Amino acid sequence: MKAAHHHSGEPLKATRHRLVLLANKNNILPHCIQMKIMKINLRYLAPMAAALYFAATTTHATPIPESCQINGIAIGCQAYSFKEFSVFDAIDKTAATGGKVIEFYPGQSYGPEKPGAKFDHNATDEMIAAVKARLAKAGVRAVNYGVVGIPKDEAAARKIFEFAKKFELYGITTESVDSIDTIEKLVKEYDIRVGFHDHPKREKDPKYRMWDPNYILSVVKDRDARIGSCADVGHWFHSGLDPVDCLKILQGRIISSHLKDEDATFKVVPFGAGKINIPAVLEELKRQHFVGNASIEYEANWKNSVGDITQCISFVRDHGAK
């Protein structure tokens, strides 16, 4: 049904609204009616104000661009795969494998330009600019940094987050659970994710619990959603765990992953040649709508691993292909 109109063609409802506003403006309406109008306005304004405040104080981290994905996964290299080389070599070698992203680690050789210098969060602006230039040239995006110790001291921890900010990193990888309060504060401030990494179970060190996904979950479950796990599937396998089960335990908290396949002796091998069910790992990450980085950490054939890692990248690219 069409709205009724008066002789000028203006809807009656709009006319009444205009007259109420005019009367209110000229103090013609009784005080009680003015107060009622004010209460109605406040009733709608309060939720609106709350929504605006929430939007202004809540951060939403930017996902890694889809252009960095291969078959739905932002995959590349953990620079530790090239620990025998400089950070510039690591970038070039990552590009040579077909990887789209790189995860830096603290302490890699900077290169012959600065003999003895290491690349980490203490790098000078000059060093950072040079590394950024090489990334751009190679077409590789820096997305993560670790495994790095994050101290409880806020000023010292902030230095790591500032380094990550300069590279616009998606995340930082650590095992510093004792610094969780400092980490959470800086995660909220910088909008940079933090993933807790797992190394293999240590039979002679029962106090080391990072290998256990249930322990990681207990650390992060009540914390900011940007704090979670860096899922090292090889170390879980080495600890006698099923990596897919571990991923399921940490569903919703997988920040990043260190991907590797290992044989029965825990030697790293190309994807598909070992005992880890890499296809199932990839499927589980996709099922969880994983948007973090998956860094291939190839801890073997140190001097000549580009070919092996290229096979891993191809495995991911071809997985599920018809």
Q: Digits of tens for pLDDT over the chain (322 positions)?
A: 433 444 444 444 444 444 434 444 444 444 444 444 444 444 544 444 433 433 333 344 667 999 999 999 999 999 999 999 999 999 999 999 999 999 999 999 999 999 999 999 999 999 999 999 999 999 999 999 999 999 999 999 999 999 999 999 999 999 999 999 999 999 999 999 999 999 999 999 999 999 999 999 999 999 999 999 999 999 999 999 999 999 999 999 999 999 999 999 999 999 999 999 999 999 999 999 999 999 999 999 999 999 999 999 999 999 976 4
Looking at residue 62, its pLDDT comes to 64
Cα atoms in the Cβ-side hemisphere of radius 13 Å centred on 15 = 10
Q: What are the angstrom distances between the C-alpha of 97 and each of 1, 311, 316?
A: 66, 8, 12
Beta strands in 116-222 (DSSP E): 118-119, 141-145, 171-174, 193-197
Instruction: Give the largest CA-CA distance in the chain.
Output: 92
- Token pair, residue 257, equals 């992953």
What are the phi and psi torsion angles at 120 (to 5°)?
A: -160, -160
What are the phi and psi torsion angles at 137 (to 5°)?
A: -65, -40
Looking at residue 320, its pLDDT comes to 76
Residue 314: its H or E element: helix 306-318
Q: Which residue in 139, 86, 95 sits closest to 113, CA to CA?
A: 86
What are the phi and psi torsion angles at 227 (to 5°)?
A: -110, 130
Query: What pTM value is reported for the model?
Result: 0.81
Looking at residue 63, its pLDDT comes to 77
Residue 158: its H or E element: helix 154-166
In DSSP terms, 231 is beta-bridged to 257
- Token pair, residue 297, equals 């950490």
Residue 224 CB partners (closer than 8 Å, separation 6+): 184, 187, 188
Separation CA 118–CA 99 (nearest Å): 23
Cβ atoms of residues 226 and 61 within 8 Å: yes
